[in-house]
Amino acid sequence: MSTPWLDERQIAAWIRLAAVLELMPGVLDAQLRRDSDLTHFEYYALAMLSEAPRRTLRMTALAARTNATLPRLSHVVRRLEDRGLVERFPCPEDKRATNAKLTEAGWAKVVATAPGHVATVRSNVIDVLSSQQIDQITEICDAILERLDPEGTMTEPLR
């Protein structure tokens, strides 16, 4: 079986996408650490809880929305618990499951952190794109996500 190699145009697109995927996490992480003493992943977990009904999700659902393994998420949530930002408790519907809930302090942290995060996203992504390019990037990402996340787990808050 022969490998269907990328042509020059495809290579150029792939290298650019890969560069964005490599550089963006560092930009987001640096701003969040500097301004809010949070990693990007910690903020993302808090943000997913902030958008959930009653600011609560099962740990398995939070893991799916953040694309994390349960061990990684458990470690991060424990750190957030130690800071009073999240609390865990048995799921009332299924005692085998554990829920994570954003505390009032966690909500306050999200509210205080969001403006700086949005400013970073805006200055590094949104403001450098035209309105048409924003629509195009949404379409492009939707096409890729159909393959990578066909159930729409990571985009659940958008529904």
- In the prediction, which pLDDT does 115 show? 98
List of E strands, the chain: 56-58, 86-90, 98-102
Helix (H, G, I), strand (E, B) or coil at 61: helix
- In the prediction, which pLDDT does 153 show? 87
Flag whether 7 is in a domain. no
Flag whether 97 is in a domain. yes
CATH code at position 117: 1.10.10.10
Q: Place 64 in a pLDDT band, splitting at 50, 70 and 90.
A: very high
How many domains is the chain partitioned into structurally?
1
Q: Place 1 in a pLDDT band, splitting at 50, 70 and 90.
A: confident
- In the prediction, which pLDDT does 66 show? 95
The answer to whether residue 159 scores a pLDDT higher than 70 is: no
CA angle (66, 54, 57) in 5-degree steps? 30
pLDDT digits (tens, 9 = 90+) for 2-51: 999 999 999 999 999 999 999 999 999 999 999 999 999 999 999 999 99
Flag whether 113 is in a domain. yes
- In the prediction, which pLDDT does 22 show? 97
The answer to whether residue 87 scores a pLDDT higher than 90 is: yes
Flag whether 41 is in a domain. yes
pTM score of the predicted model = 0.90
User: Which pairing describes strands 98-102 and 56-58: parallel, antiparallel, or unpaired?
Assistant: antiparallel
Instruction: Report residue 98 as tokens.
Output: 């554990």
pLDDT digits (tens, 9 = 90+) for 89-142: 999 988 899 999 999 999 999 999 999 999 999 999 999 999 999 999 999 999
Flag whether 156 is in a domain. no
CA angle (20, 25, 29) in 5-degree steps? 150
The answer to whether residue 148 scores a pLDDT higher than 80 is: yes
Q: Which amino acid is at 38?
A: L
Work out the burial of residue 150: count CB atoms within 10 Å of its CB; fewer than 13 is exposed, 13-18 middle, 19 or more buried: exposed
Flag whether 18 is in a domain. no
Residues 41 and 25: their CA atoms lie apart, in Å, by 9
Residues 115 and 151: their CA atoms lie apart, in Å, by 30
- In the prediction, which pLDDT does 154 show? 86
Sheet of 86-90, strands arranged across: 56-58, 98-102, 86-90
46: containing domain: 24-128
Flag whether 138 is in a domain. no
Flag whether 17 is in a domain. no
